[in-house]
Amino acid sequence: MSNQIIFIIMGIAGGFFVIIVLLYLLMRKKMQKSDYKRIRDLRKGTKASNFSMEVLYQKLYVAYIRIPYIKRYILKLRRRLEIINIDDEYNTRKDAAKIMTKALAILIPVIIITIVITHSNYILMVTLLLFELFMTDSLIDGSVDKLDDNLLKQQIDFFSEIRHAYHEFNMVEEAIYQVSQDDEKDVSRQGEKIYDILIADDPETELEKYYDIAPNSFLKEFAGLSYLTKEFGDRKVDGASLYLKNVDNITQEMQLEILKRDKLNYVFQSLSVISIVPVLLLEPLKSWAISNFSFVESWYVGKPGTIVQILILLLTFICYILVRKLKDNGSTNANTHNTENPWQAKVYKNKIGKKIVNLAMPKEGSREYRKVQKLLKDSASHLKMEWLYVNRIVAMIAVFVISIVVFIQLHKVAVDYVYTEPTTDYDLIGGLTDRQKAEAMEVTRQDNTFLDKFKGKIDTTEEDIEKEVRRSDFYEEATDDEITIAVERIYEKLQTVNSEYMKWFEILLAFVFAIAGYMSPIWILFFQLKMRQLEMEDEVMQFQTIILMLMRIERVNVEIILEWLERYSNIFHDPITKCVNNYEAGPWESLEELKNDITYEPLIRIVESLQAAVEKIPIKDAFDELDSERDYYREKRKESNERLIKRKGMIGKGIGFAPMVSLFVLYLIIPLVFIGLTSMSSSFASMTA
């Protein structure tokens, strides 16, 4: 590491130290104000004298919420954490500040190192900084997912304790209350909320509210099951409590989900990093190749190397986004989007923005509108139609502007290379010694004086250059052959310099890229749709478990089962909702319409059984095969999860390793082989001439 880089790092570190000291002095001054002093006096004798991390996190939360950019992430964290830490502001703030502090502790040093290493390559520096912001998003989402997974694991013990408490009290609400007294566990707050619902004056309404904010579907099932048992009573089935049997079914579902998440986390834990690593290796790989194989320097420093570098950056960005979409387990993240007021809404509220979006957006009721709306629903996107088209228009404009900037930068790179390349006819396979390089750079500096005179003059001829060369002090004692060689060389360089300007086909390419940017949000929705289709079997098996729990409860009918399926459906949510809405008009007809709206055979069989339960036989007889073949369905569910994880893993590995393969093939192997063979061919040709 050079002394210059060390001084830069020391300067940045010193700057941060000064900023921290100034912030401390400002906060200290503010704390001396009367309001803070009065609060401090009131708190005397009520707080611990030693240092507390929890108090620090509370103070950090207040600080983060005042910083504009960080405030956005804190509010996003809050929306997710409020679901887990239900009605607990203290823990919500503590967890949000804790996660943000960890993210900043990783992000700030990485940003400093990135700026120091890539300060000479602005394209790479900006790209890396953007990727680091995306990685911060991943880190934050991963931290919240970990909390959600911990909550799921706590529910296993919670339901086990419910079993013992229910045996003791024989009352659902009392058992839940007794088990929820452990304040140290996150699941206890959920238990207290469910208890409050069960003893409320209008438990059904409170239960519907809870369904909207429950952290996961298993707590929804438990809350609904507890309510039905309290309302309709428990009964014995094969000598055992039906309520406890159903709690066991939910527990088994949770165990399968925990195993599934653990395996997915194991498969994907390194793929996100692997998809990002090529961006970090671009500069080190380039430096290594140039230092060991000097004949490729012209390729890496010139336009071809820059184009390949940009392509690898673009591929890495796309693959990183797809890997994140592929891994998403749809935990608390799915519950928070509707409450957001994103930047898209602010753009659409603007008069000019609204007019532009309305021009691009299809008319409501048109075929195209219905098609896009269906895609949004099928892909489980949180976006509204207007927000989607804001994304599309912004992506189009951004891609067009970036394309133009990149083309301009590529022309600049090509011109700079002509002005800075060592000018020599030396065999590039062997490289240059320091003396040869100094002589070559001297020739380059001489040529640059002529290039500056004729730069931009398209009609310049070799005769014009020859006149300038003969008048120059550099060639006073040169022979005619040396002047001829110099003129040809300068003329060739001049042609390159004068040809590096924006051309019509580059503008056309920018428009093509802009159209691709405009379509990219739609392509992402199609990708999400394909990923959701992989989970059809898993969702139908969850329906079977729900029916298995409800079929033996007294006074449960087909309509209640449909309402439960609607509540827990994801992929088949729209057709089931339509069936529930039309149920009053005719149960058989609405189920028949549902059967026509779906094509997945296992779900069609469930609908046919529901039709049989409407008019002909009791629900428990219509679904008796679920009860008799319970072990078979459980094993099938495990095997289905294994298949899903395997397929996601194969797709994820293909996407995640694509940037790394492209890096070594396009950025290292092909240049070395192609340029090496070309140089060898020219060397042999010169030797045999």
Give CA–CA dist 465/497, Å, rounded. 15
Could you list the residue range(s) of the whole structural domain that residue 63 is in? 52-117
Residues 463-499 pLDDT 10s: 888 888 888 777 777 777 878 888 888 888 888 888 8
Quote the CA–CA distance of 125 and 128 in Å, as a whole number. Answer: 5
Residue 36 located in a structural domain: yes
pLDDT at 332: 38
SS3 86: coil
Which of residues 60, 95, 117 is at a domain's end? Answer: 117
Q: How many domains does the chain have?
A: 3
Q: Which residues contact 284 (CB under 8 A, 6 or more apart)?
A: none
HEC-encoded secondary structure of 525-575: HHHHHHHHHCCHHHHHHHHHHHHHHHCCCCCCCHHHHHHHHHHHCCCCHHH
Cα 489 from Cα 465, distance rounded (Å): 10
Q: Is the dihedral of CA 393, 394, 399, 401 positive or negative?
A: positive
pLDDT tens-place string over residues 141-163: 777 778 888 888 888 988 889 98
Whether residue 163 is contained in a domain is answered as: no
> Are residues 34 and 78 both part of a single domain?
no
Residues 27 and 68 in one domain: no
Same domain, 36 and 60: no
> Does 298 reside within a domain?
no
Q: Is 221 exposed, middle or buried (0-12, 13-18, 19+ CB in 10 A)?
A: buried
Mean pLDDT of 215-223: 86
Least confident of 254-263, 331-340, 427-436: 331-340
pLDDT (0 to 100) of residue 514: 92
286-314 pLDDT, tens digit per residue, is 888 888 877 777 788 778 888 888 888 88
* Predicted pLDDT of residue 401: 92
Report percent pLDDT > 90 for the chain: 3
Last residue of some domain: 96, 117, 138? Answer: 117
The pLDDT of residue 337 is above 60: no
* Mean pLDDT within 606-612: 86
pLDDT-derived band at 230, boundaries 50, 70, 90? confident
**Residue 667 DSSP label:** I
**Which among 499, 517, 538 is the end of a domain?**
499
pLDDT at 54 over 80: no
Let me know if residue 253 belongs to a domain. no
Write the CA distances from 148 to 93, 142, 451, 594, integer angstroms.
16, 10, 65, 34
Selection from 432, 499, 445 nearest residue 473 by Cα:
445
On whether residue 436 sits in a domain, the answer given is yes
As beta bridge partners, residue 236 has 241
Q: Do 425 and 492 share a domain, yes or no?
A: yes
For residue 616, being part of any structural domain is answered with no
Structure pTM? 0.69
168 falls within a domain: no
Q: Helices in 328-433 by DSSP H: which ranges? A: 343-349, 351-360, 367-378, 385-420
